[in-house]
Amino acid sequence: MIGAASKIGTLNEKPLHVALKAWYARPGDRFEVAMGGFIVDIVRGGLLVEIQTGNFSAIKRKL
């Protein structure tokens, strides 16, 4: 993750979220990508990966 854009949603991330994102990450992935008014944790080609470690109601609008 390089530059300011990579830090968009990272300031409030808990250690478990950060660890899971690192575990799922692959070379070429893009992180913290703005899409449709939301920030997506990982974009891999046409695949969007959202890491959720809490209640799913928190991301209901994203789904």
Confidence class of residue 62 from pLDDT cuts 50, 70 and 90?
confident
This prediction's pTM: 0.76
- 28-60 confidence digits (pLDDT tens): 999 999 999 999 999 999 999 999 988 888 788
- Are 43 and 30 contacting, i.e. CB atoms less than 8 angstroms apart? yes
CA quadruple 14, 2, 22, 32: dihedral sign: positive
CB 8 within 8 A of CB 1: no
Euclidean distance between the first and final Cα of the chain, in Å?
24
d(CA 14, CA 34): 20
The Cα 10–Cα 13 span in angstroms is: 5
